[in-house]
Amino acid sequence: MPGPDKTLGEFLAQKRISKAFYYSLKRRSLGPGETTYPGSRVVRISAAAERAWDERMAQLAQTEAAKLEAERRRAQAAEAGRIAVASPLHISKRVAHKQQHRRRAR
């Protein structure tokens, strides 16, 4: 049996998020489903809406983490490439070195 609906204040306190962050999520259509009863301005969030929101936030976190990890790996590979090219042992420098050595020997 699902628990009772929560007020916005209760939801924010339980999730430990600020009102500003909540409204920024809501502007981006990432907020939980809200219910406002007729004749009232009190926003309620049902247990089902809260569960759905938790799942959506978990999926978003995984997606963001995967993007960050891929970006970190690309940056690491680019840095490794720059370091390799700067090395005197890089293949491009070994070939040039051999050609210079051959010219001097003639």
Per residue in 24-50, pLDDT (tens digit) is: 999 999 999 999 888 888 889 999 999
Residue 95 belongs to a domain:
yes
Residue 1 belongs to a domain:
no
Length of the chain equals 106
C-alpha separations of 92 from 80, 81, 98, 99, 105 in Å: 16, 13, 10, 11, 21
Residue 92 belongs to a domain:
yes
* pLDDT score of 2 more than 90: no
Q: How many domains does the chain have?
A: 1
- Expressed as residue numbers, the domain containing 84 is 6-105
Residue 10 belongs to a domain:
yes
- Residue 3 or 18, more confident: 18
What integer is the mean pLDDT of 42-64? 91
pTM of the model: 0.58
* pLDDT score of 101 more than 70: no
Residue 87 belongs to a domain:
yes
Residue 100 belongs to a domain:
yes
Residue 59 belongs to a domain:
yes
Residue 33 belongs to a domain:
yes
For residue 80, which phi and psi values (nearest 5 degrees)?
A: -60, -40
